[in-house]
Every structure is written in structure tokens, then in C-alpha cells.
């Protein structure tokens, strides 16, 4: 490639058609005396650095999966939940088994992924996963057995609904009694395991969709905006309207309002 005889437009067109940009080419672009060519080199250098960081992060987040596969385990389910903290709505858990060659740069704990990317990742995970199961436990059940036990129940349901028997379940922090397979609880697992991160994404998108539907039934609370968390808007609505049927009556911020007139019931 004779850079000296090519215009900036021609160089940009050429590199755009390459699947991989050799580091030697980037060095030549950076060294070119033309500012426009050097700018192309800087852009490509930044892209290469970002890919290296993504690959290194992916290698780190597949550590548990690779170790378990080296032990002969094949069907690995990551499990995570969303919705332990809100004042309303279900707690939702997801179980996801990813193929060994799955690669989705940027996959992380759902709280760290912007909503637009979260939706895109959700669609990729559903398309490529070996198995996906959802478990949801409603507010009434949460009030009956407490949020920790409801979370475990949602996780058991997620595994049961996944359509396959796991060899191992990698779980964000919790141990799940009565789960008939090996368990690997990982504190902060949604940032340490791609399987758990994938489950986190699917659980979050699923719950947000559910809360958006509840917002149509109980529009005065704004569930589509805050998903049931204790925002100022939500607390103000509770003060005005009292709890609705999907509020968790044993939770602080709600139990004090039980008995108020409820226009939505």
C-alpha cells in the first residue's frame, strides 16, 4: 500500500474495507505528515485499543466458565435477579446458558449497560442462548415469605423454566436450597461471569417490560419511569393514592400507607 500516492479519501475508503488493520499500517498512518492521514491513524489506534480492552475483559469474565468446562461441565447456567429493592412489582430472575463460543463485547451487569445497548444485548442473548428461563414472584408472595426467600423462589422457577437440566449454576451471591445441581455462588457475579451478566440483562429487560405493562393498568404511579423503585415521584403518588395491588405491603414506604383510599383498586 503506497500511502504517498493515495488521497485521504482513498486511504479512508481502503481501511474501511479491511477486516483487520495491521499495526504496521496504523504506525505508517500515524507517521504520515498529512494531518488528515494521521487523524485516521489515531482513530484506528483508539479502536484497536478498545478491542484489546474488550477482549481482555471478556477473557476475565469467562474465567469461571472456562474452568468449569475444563472439569467436563458443559451446560452452565448463569442466574441473576432484578427487583429486590422496589416498593412494587415482582422480583424477576433469569437463568441463561450461553454457547462456549459466545462473544458479546461490553456485556456486563445490567445496571452498568445503557438502556439502548441493554435491549440490543437482550435480543442477541435470546437469539443465541442454549437455554433461557424466567421466574417471577409477585408482590403478594414477597409479602408472604420475605424478599430473600422470594428471590430464591424466582431463581428456582427460572431454572425450571429453562427447558434443560444444568450441569452447574453460577449464581450472583446466593445459594439456592433444593436446586438439584452443583452451584457456584459468586459475590458480584454479574460483573465477574458472562453467564450471570447475561441473566442480569434478560431479567432487567423482562422486569422493565412487565412494569411498563403495569403502568398502563395503574398510570397514576408512573411504573414505566421508575419500575417501582422509591423515587420522589413514586413516593408522592403513594402519598396521594395509597398502595395499589402490586405494591409490597410489608416494605417501608408502603406499609405506612396501607388502608388509605385507593383509586386504582
Are 194 and 239 part of one and the same domain?
no
Q: Over the chain, what HEC string results? A: CCHHHCCHHHHHHHHHCCCCCCHHHHHHHHHCCCHHHHHHHHHHHHHHHHHHHHHHHHHHHCHHHHHHHHCCCCCEEEEEEECCCCCECCEEEEEEECCCCCCCCCCCCHHHCCHHHHHHHHHHHHHHCCEEEEEEECHHHHHHHCHHHHHHHHHHHHHHCCCCCCCEEEEECCCCCCCCCEEEEECCHHHCCHHHHHHHHHHHHHHHHHHHHHHHHCHHHCHHHHCCCCCHHHHHHHHHHCCCCCECCCCCCCHHHCCCCCCCC
Confidence of residue 258 (pLDDT cuts 50, 70, 90): confident
112 and 26 part of one domain:
no
Q: Is the pLDDT of residue 264 over 80?
A: no
Residue 261 predicted with pLDDT over 50: no
Q: Are residues 222 and 199 in the same domain?
A: no
- Residues 2-40: pLDDT tens digits? 788 888 888 888 888 888 888 888 888 888 888 998 888
Q: What is the pLDDT of residue 37?
A: 87
Does any domain span residue 67? Answer: no
Which residues span the domain enclosing 161? 72-204
Residue 234 has pLDDT above 60, yes or no: yes
247 is a domain residue: yes
Rounded Cα gap, residues 136 and 203, in angstroms:
9
In a domain, 66, yes or no: no
Q: Is residue 264 part of a domain?
A: no
Whether 143 and 43 map to the same domain: the answer is no
Same domain, 92 and 172: yes
Q: Indicate if 79 and 198 belong to the same structural domain.
A: yes
| 209 in any annotated domain | no
- Tell me: do 9 and 56 sit in the same domain: yes
Give 167-213 pLDDT, tens digit per residue. 999 999 899 998 989 999 999 999 999 999 999 999 999 999 999 99
CATH number of the domain encompassing residue 110 = 3.30.420.10
Tally of domains within the chain: 3
* Strand ranges across the sheet with 76-82: 131-137, 91-97, 76-82, 168-172, 182-186
Residues 84 and 182 in one domain: yes
pLDDT for 265 beyond 60: no
Give yes or no: residues 13 and 101 share one domain: no
Residues 119 and 222 in one domain: no
Instruction: Say what the alpha-carbon torsion angle 126, 157, 175, 80 is, to the nearest 10 degrees.
Output: 30
- In this prediction, residue 262 has a pLDDT band, given cuts at 50, 70 and 90, of very low
Tell me, yes or no, whether 77 and 200 share the same domain. yes
- 148 found inside a domain: yes
pTM of the model: 0.85
Question: 129 and 31: one domain?
Answer: no
Amino acid at each position: 500500500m503506497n500511502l504517498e500516492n493515495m488521497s485521504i479519501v482513498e486511504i479512508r475508503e481502503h481501511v474501511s474495507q479491511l477486516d483487520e488493520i495491521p499495526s504496521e499500517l496504523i504506525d505508517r498512518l500515524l507517521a504520515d505528515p498529512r494531518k488528515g492521514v494521521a487523524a485516521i491513524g489515531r482513530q484506528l489506534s483508539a479502536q484497536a485499543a478498545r478491542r484489546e480492552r474488550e477482549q481482555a475483559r471478556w477473557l476475565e469474565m469467562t474465567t469461571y466458565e472456562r474452568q468449569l468446562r475444563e472439569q467436563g461441565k458443559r451446560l452452565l447456567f448463569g442466574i441473576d435477579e432484578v427487583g429486590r429493592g422496589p416498593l412494587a412489582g415482582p422480583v424477576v430472575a433469569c437463568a441463561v446458558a450461553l454457547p462456549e463460543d459466545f462473544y458479546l463485547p461490553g456485556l456486563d451487569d445490567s445496571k452498568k449497560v445503557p438502556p439502548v445497548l441493554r435491549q440490543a444485548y437482550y435480543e442477541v442473548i435470546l437469539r443465541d442462548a442454549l437455554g433461557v428461563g424466567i421466574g417471577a414472584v409477585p408482590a403478594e408472595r414477597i409479602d408472604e415469605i420475605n424478599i430473600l426467600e422470594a428471590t430464591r423462589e424466582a431463581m428456582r422457577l427460572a431454572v425450571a423454566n429453562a427447558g434443560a437440566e444444568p450441569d452447574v449454576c453460577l449464581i450472583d451471591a446466593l445459594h439456592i436450597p433444593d436446586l438439584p445441581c452443583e452451584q457456584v455462588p459468586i459475590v458480584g457475579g454479574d460483573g465477574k461471569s458472562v453467564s450471570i451478566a447475561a441473566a442480569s440483562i434478560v431479567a432487567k429487560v423482562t422486569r422493565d417490560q412487565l412494569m411498563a405493562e403495569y403502568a398502563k393498568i395503574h398510570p397514576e404511579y408512573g411504573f414505566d419511569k421508575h419500575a417501582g423503585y422509591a423515587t420522589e415521584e413514586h413516593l408522592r403518588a403513594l402519598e396521594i393514592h395509597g398502595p395499589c395491588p402490586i405494591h409490597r405491603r410489608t416494605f417501608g414506604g408502603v406499609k405506612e400507607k396501607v388502608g388509605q383510599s385507593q383509586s386504582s383498586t
